[in-house]
Amino acid sequence: MEDTMVTQAAVFIGGLLTGGSNYLGLWLTVKKVAGSSRPTRLVLSSMLLRLAACVALFSLLMDSRGERLVPVLAGFYLSRILACRRFGVSPGTSRLR
């Protein structure tokens, strides 16, 4: 059975919200890492928590339908672009140079 446009839009918005929560968690982790007594533990636990949440939400949004992967990833990627614009970082560049 094919998904309707409404379903595809809802899945896209779900991907957008999943990405937004992922990048918000990353931003909060980066803000707290300088003042942490155990920065490695903080970064690793944050990464594992964010990864588990993204995998679980992707699984719920896709509902075992491969055609929903594209809108989920498109929403997730758009949230990355929006987060980079919000924080003044150009996607694909590094500040370590």
Q: In the chain, where are the structural domains located?
A: 7-86
Half-sphere exposure of 85 (CA within 13 A, CB side): 7
Average pLDDT over residues 39-44: 95
Neighbours of 18 (CB within 10 A): 23
Residue 96 above 90 pLDDT? Answer: no
Give pLDDT, residue 92: 64
Q: Exposed, middle or buried by CB within 10 Å (0-12, 13-18, 19+), for 81?
A: exposed
Residue range 52-90, pLDDT digits in tens: 999 999 999 999 888 899 999 999 999 999 998 887 776
Give pLDDT, residue 86: 86
